[in-house]
């Protein structure tokens, strides 16, 4: 049809073939014993189930780790394990689950209309129309956006979410070859720099989290390390948006800052959260 003809001009044939296979599998999912839980249950309920599954996986990891250090009497490792056990036993709040469900659309909206057309079959016609359609935001609340990425400069958008009293920074994951170049900087690097408030980061952390830092004296920013490409991307986006974010939080009293992203973008967002 027209949609297929349009896609053939924009997307390589091997990707179209893969999308056809994926769509065929999705359209006939009943034949594979798959249940569409998103249609059976509210979105936040599905996120809750996924969250619980992640907790079970974490519990298994803790049990394995505990067996490995049973003969190790260091306080640091014991403190780390006790923190993880305590954290794993907590159930997520409904507010957290609703946030996950709500902001998942923000993470996909930054991918633009071409990707959404392939995944959903909906043709918005422009990247901005796709962003507004997926998030439900008003055009005046899109503060800034960058659609074209560069190495260490992922696409992102910054917006006001008045309904949830939030300032939202959404960072895109890997979709272009320039993003792949960012991914290939996979060596670890310090997530913090000397000018960052390391004490403020430690104040956000629990005792067990502090104990997991690799640096023995836990007083040096170099003890907080992450994927180099994501670190550089986080630094660049933080540099570009810091003043705007500060102004938005100042003029929108009571609003919170929400940092999010998918894949590489999620990693960059997490790193920004470590020094903001």
What's the number of CA atoms in the CB half-sphere (13 Å) around residue 149?
27
pLDDT (mean) for 44-59: 75
Banded model confidence at residue 244, pLDDT cuts 50, 70, 90 = very high
**Cβ pair 69, 77 in contact under 8 A:** yes
pLDDT (mean) for 216-240: 80
pLDDT single digits (tens) 145-204? 999 999 999 999 999 999 999 999 999 999 988 999 999 998 888 887 766 656 666 666
The percentage of residues in the chain with a pLDDT greater than 90, rounded to a whole number, is: 41
Instruction: State residue 272's pLDDT score.
Output: 93
Q: Of 269, 268, 249, whose CA–CA distance to 259 is shortest?
A: 269
Instruction: State residue 262's pLDDT score.
Output: 93
In the predicted model, is pLDDT for residue 216 greater than 50? Answer: no
The answer to pTM > 0.85 is: no
pLDDT single digits (tens) 73-120? 555 555 555 555 555 555 667 788 788 889 999 999 999 999 888 878
3-state secondary structure string across the chain:
CHHHHHHHHHCCHHHHHHHHHHHHHHHCHHHHCCCCHHHHCCHHHHHHHHHHHHHHHHHHHHHHHHHHCCCCCCHHHHHHHHHHHHHHCCCCCHHHHHHHHHHHHHHHHCCHHHHHHHHHCCCCCCHHHHHHHHHCCCHHHEEEEECCCECCECCEEEEEEHHHCEEEEEECCCCCHHHHHHHCCCCEEECCCCCCCHHHHHHHCCHHHHHCCCCCCCCCHHHCEEEHHHHHHHHHHHHHHHHHHHHHHHHCCCCEEEEEECCHHHHHHHHHHHHC
pLDDT (mean) for 12-33: 68
To the nearest 10 degrees (0 to 180), the angle between helices 94-109 and 127-135 is: 170
In the predicted model, is pLDDT for residue 59 greater than 60? Answer: yes
In the predicted model, is pLDDT for residue 212 greater than 60? Answer: no
In the predicted model, is pLDDT for residue 213 greater than 70? Answer: no
**Higher pLDDT, residue 66 or 105:** 105
**Cβ pair 261, 253 in contact under 8 A:** no
Instruction: State residue 222's pLDDT score.
Output: 63
Instruction: State residue 189's pLDDT score.
Output: 87
Q: Which residues of 96-135 are buried (b: 16+ CB within 10 A; e: fewer)?
A: ebbbbbbbeebbbbbbbbbbbbbeeeebbeebbebbbbbb
- Phi, then psi, of 29 in degrees rounded to 5: -65, -25
CB neighbours of residue 137 within 10 Å: 20
Instruction: State residue 261's pLDDT score.
Output: 96
Q: Of 155, 160, 112, whose CA–CA distance to 133 is shortest?
A: 112
Instruction: State residue 137's pLDDT score.
Output: 97
pLDDT (mean) for 120-144: 94
Instruction: State residue 73's pLDDT score.
Output: 55
């Amino acid at each position: 049809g027209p949609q297929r003809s349009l896609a053939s001009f924009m997307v390589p044939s091997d990707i179209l073939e893969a999308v056809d296979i994926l769509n065929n599998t999705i359209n006939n999912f009943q034949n594979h014993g798959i249940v569409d839980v998103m249609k059976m249950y509210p979105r936040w309920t599905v996120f809750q189930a996924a969250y619980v599954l992640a907790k079970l996986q974490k519990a298994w990891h803790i049990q394995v780790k505990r067996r490995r250090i049973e003969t190790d009497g260091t306080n640091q490792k014991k403190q780390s394990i006790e923190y993880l056990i305590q954290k794993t036993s907590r159930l997520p709040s409904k507010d957290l689950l609703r946030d996950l469900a709500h902001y998942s659309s923000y993470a996909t909206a930054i991918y633009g209309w071409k990707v959404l057309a392939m995944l959903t079959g909906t043709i918005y016609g422009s990247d901005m129309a796709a962003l507004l359609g997926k998030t439900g935001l008003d055009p005046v609340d899109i503060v800034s956006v960058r659609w074209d990425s560069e190495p260490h400069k992922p696409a992102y958008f910054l917006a006001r979410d008045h309904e949830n009293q939030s300032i939202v920074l959404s960072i895109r994951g890997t979709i272009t070859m320039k993003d792949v170049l960012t991914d290939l900087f996979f060596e670890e690097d310090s997530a913090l720099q000397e000018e960052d408030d390391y004490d403020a980061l430690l104040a956000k952390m629990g005792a067990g989290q502090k104990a997991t830092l690799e640096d023995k004296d836990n007083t040096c920013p170099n003890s907080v390390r992450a994927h180099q490409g994501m670190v550089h991307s986080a630094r660049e986006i933080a540099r570009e948006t810091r003043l705007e974010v500060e102004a938005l939080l100042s003029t929108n009293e009571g609003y919170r800052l929400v940092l999010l992203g998918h894949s590489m973008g999620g990693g960059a967002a997490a790193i920004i959260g470590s020094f903001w």
